[in-house]
Amino acid sequence: YSPDGKWIVSGSRDNTVQMWNVATGKPMRTLTGHMSSVRAVAYSPDGQTLAASDSNGEIRLWSVHDGQCLLTCSGHINWVRAIKFSPDGRYLASSSDDRRIKLWDLQDGTCLKTIGDGIHSLGFSFSPDGRYLASGSANNLIYYWDLQTGACIRQFEGHQDWSIDVKFHP
- Full pLDDT tens readout for the chain, 170 residues: 788 999 999 999 999 999 999 999 999 999 999 999 999 999 999 999 999 999 999 999 999 999 999 999 999 988 898 999 999 999 999 999 888 999 999 999 999 999 988 788 878 999 999 999 999 888 889 999 999 999 999 999 988 888 888 889 88
How far apart CA 96 and CA 160 sit, in angstroms, is 22
Closest by alpha carbon to 147, among 136, 134, 157? 134
Alpha-carbon gap, residue 3 to 90, rounded angstroms: 16
pLDDT value, residue 51: 97
The pLDDT assigned to 122 comes to 79
Cβ atoms within 10 A of the Cβ of 35, count? 9
Cα 45 to Cα 76: distance, rounded to the nearest angstrom: 24
* Residues whose CB falls within 8 Å of the CB of residue 150, separated by 6 or more in sequence, listed in order: 113, 114, 115
Of the candidates 84, 78, 79, the one whose C-alpha atom is nearest the C-alpha of residue 61 is 84
What is this structure's pTM?
0.91
In this predicted structure, what is the pLDDT of residue 147?
94
Contacts of 158 (CB under 8 A, 6+ apart): none
Separation in Å, CA 118 to CA 13, 38, 115, 124? 27, 23, 9, 16
